[in-house]
Amino acid sequence: MIKYLFFQNDSVDNTLYPNDSALMPAERLMGMELNADGTDLTMSFKSMLQSKGVSYQIVLSITADSGADIMAAIVEEIALGNEGFINIADEYNEVFLHSDITAIETTLDGSFQ
């Protein structure tokens, strides 16, 4: 089954950027990395434009020191979950894959690469 990871911002001005979102193929996930203080998780994806060396990054705000649990939950859902659509972070509807994901730092307006 092909799986997709969903991300959606809670836009401040819905007339300019109405609920910007990204749907990324899970097979394009290259890796996940925590920042030094453990409050940001960066998810890196291979470019869908087939450009060598180009990647997309989506940064999630997370509760401090919860990164390992969140990464494990994401990997488990991709590997073992029964759904093709995996909601990682939907700020607008306040739905997150893991309770320690608090926000999306990246603005998903089509230029987030």
Query: What is the residue extent of each domain of the chain?
Result: 4-104
Helix (H, G, I), strand (E, B) or coil at 4: strand
**Global pTM?**
0.87
Q: Please report which confidence band the pLDDT of residue 109 belongs to, taking 50, 70 and 90 as the band edges.
A: confident
Name the CA radius of gyration of the chain, rounded. 14
How far is residue 100 CA from its own chain's centroid?
13
List Cβ neighbours of 7 (8 Å cut-off, separation of 6 or more).
21, 22, 23, 24, 58, 88, 89, 90, 104, 106, 108
Query: CA-to-CA distance for 39 and 78, rounded, in angstroms?
Result: 22
Would the pLDDT of 112 be above 80?
no
